[in-house]
Structures are given as C-alpha cells and as structure tokens.
Structure 1
Amino acid sequence: MLDHVESYGEAQDEAPIGLVGCLTKSLCYINRTTVHSAALASNTEEPTVLVDPRILVLSVSPDQSSTYIPIMNSIFSAQKLKVTIDICKIYGPDNVFLQQAAHLTGGSYIHIERPEALLQYMMMSFLPPLGIRQLLSVPTQDRIDFRAACFCHKNIVEIGFVCSVCLSIFCQPVPVCSTCRTKFPIKTLQRLNASRPITLPPSTTNVAHPPPRVPSAALGGQNGTGPPRNGTVQ
C-alpha cells in the first residue's frame, strides 16, 4: 500500500491520507482469509499451508496527528491477529506512528536513503519472512519515537496528561475530560500546572528501554485521588 497526501489548489487544510483505510481493509481481508483457511483445515484431512500475514507500507507522507487513534487501533488489531507491519519510508521525515507500528508488530522500518536501490531493499529486506531476516542482517531501528497525539488539539506531544478514567491524553490539564466528561477538582489542576516542566526531554528513546506509550502523568477522578494508570487508546 502507498500512503500519500493529495493537494488541491493553493491554500488548503491538511489533506487526509489513505493509510487508515488501507490498514483496516488489509486487516479485514487477512482476518477473512485466516478464518477461511482454519475452516478448511478442520473440514479436510489434506495438509494446509500456514498463513503468515504481513503488510508492507510504502510511505511518502509525514505524520497526521488527527489519525493517531485509528492508526493505533489498527496496530493493536494487527498485534491480535499476529500480523507483521513493515514500513518502507521512501520520502520525507521519519513517521512517528509508523515507527511504532513496525516496532509493536515485529516488522522492519527502513528509511530509504537511495531511491534507485528500492528494488534491492524490497527483495532483501521486506520479501524474506521474519525467520530468514535474522540471517540476512536486515537493518533495524536503533531509536524509536514513542510520542503520542493529544485528544484536545491533535498535536504530537512528548509530555501529556492522562485522564485516570478513560486514559485520554491531553497536552495540558483540563477541568473536564472531553471524552468521558469526568470533572477534575481545581486543586488537582493547580498542582499539575505547577509541576509542568519547562524543558522537554528528547523526543526519541532507546529501543532497549522504551517508555510507556502513554505519558504517565494522570488527572485525578472526582475526588482527585484517582491513581495514575498507563494504558492504550481505544
């Protein structure tokens, strides 16, 4: 699949990318094929071919923060279906969400430095199955960007505040959660605002010690005593 940005006219808002639709359709097709193969295997004595589903994304567009939630849901669905997502970054800066997709599903994320060698990358890095890639020394990611997008402004943030009820992410403390409508006490908001750091840490981190995918700072519940929890975005 190829995710792209189409431009119409001169000044326009951020055009939507087709990545989310491609991922969901691919996962639906893989699920249907896997279920069909399992049904045939149970109804016949003939040996069946094991399905090893993989998805290859050819990326030429930057991150679009508004698609954070559906992309992460697609990644979690791929994990459940045991689908490997490979990313071939052909053009532009590194894509934060696609880095996470490759890392969380056990795939490869390769930023092509020489476009004329695209065929060689495709044959040697993405065509072999996962077991063979270890023998071929396929390039791996040394550093992965684990930043998330906030629910309020759809901006990619390095430090955010998480609702302790629904785990929604916000770039700043809010009096009312826009997702579950939970109200937070004023004292909790004042404490969180006073504890906000002035300088932000680096946006990338080592793969050997990745931080949680969701920032650890949490807003309290109705009484301000809600425990901070880490979790995934639904």
Structure 2
Amino acid sequence: MEKGRREDVLEAYPCFLAIPPEDWAQAEMLSLPPSTLHPIREGHRFQHALFVVEGRIRIYRTTAEGREITLYRVGRGQCCVLMMASILGDVPYEASVAIEQEVNVLLLPVPVFTNWMAAHVSLRRFIYQQFTDRMLKVTQLLESVSFQPMPVRIAAYLLHAAASGDSNAIRITHEQLAIDLGTAREVVSRTLKKMAREGALSLSRGTITIVNPGYLQEICQPQ
C-alpha cells in the first residue's frame, strides 16, 4: 500500500500504528458509491476484513416478511462487529450492508488480519472495545423494539437526529425512518401525522422538521 494511503488509514485507525510498513503489502483500498447494490448480503463469507476509512455504511437484517431493520451504522474509525464475528468464528455473515455515503474501505485478507490480531494487542483491544460498544447499542435497540411504544421511539430518534445534525430539519423519508426503527411505513406515517396535528412537527417531502422539541421530550419521559 502507498505511504499516503497508509497514513490515511492510520489517522482513522490508530490501532494499526504498530504494524510495520513492510507488512502492508497485501492491504488494498476500495471505493464504493451509494448506488452499489447489495455489496454484502446475509450468508456472505468474508475473504477480507473491511475497515471504513471514509464514508458510512448501514448494517441491517431482513425479516421473513421482507422488512428491513437497521442494526447500526459504521463510519470512519469503526468496524462491523458482525463481520468480525463472522471472520473470527468462521461462520456466514448474519446481516446485510447498504452504502449510505460513498466509502473508502481498507481491505485486509483474512489471514493477514488474523495474524495481526494475534500479534498486536492494540488491534485486539480495538476490536474488543467495538464488540462491547456495539453489543450495548444492539441490546438497547432490541429493548426499544420490544418494550417502547412507537411514539416514544420516533420522538427519541428525531431528537437524536436533530442533535447530531445540529438542525431541527431532518432529511429523512417515512420509509427510511420505518427501516431504521424496524416497523411498517404506515405505522410511522400515522404517528408522524398525529404529532404534526398536535403541533410538534412539520412534514414535507423528504424532511421532518421539529417545531416543538418540548413535546417530543415529554413523550420520551418515563411514565
């Protein structure tokens, strides 16, 4: 791998700093646009470990009814723990991948990656921390799906999206919101329209604007 590209990787993933330059010969970089269809599907067996250097991907499962539910997203400096479980456990991948923003990914042949894992504690520590963080978030997602009413889940999602994007205008369709929440679009649309009638939201094509954050915050309060 060229020195400039290796430096980009090391900036995003300091856990690779201990890898000597001569060990990077089999590493590659790959760019993929959002228009890439089904880059990785459930049942895939990895020949390479992937690390996102730029951009963002969405990890999701598909139900028996064909409905998608978003598990989490992976951006710069992160890794997909289900991919790691597939590689380290030598089992098929249990999710699918969608590209949300054009990505540059580091590709490491699986034998190279597993050798690096065995030899470098900084890489092992990074992977284990990613497992801890992701499993906590997936557990929270499952608890939300199982126990929280839909208005609470939608309100919490919109408040988080507004805080993350530093704007009360959230560019998302009802369909995309339903996929992220693992429910039907009709359920999301019905709930959003009720919130709009009560003055909490303004709905337009592809955008949901929070008009009354206090209304949403009140919904999220434990009863």
TM-score, length-scaled by structure 1: 0.29
TM-score, length-scaled by structure 2: 0.30
Structure with the larger helix share: 2
Whose relative contact order is higher, 1 or 2, with alpha carbons under 8 Å and at least 6 apart? 2
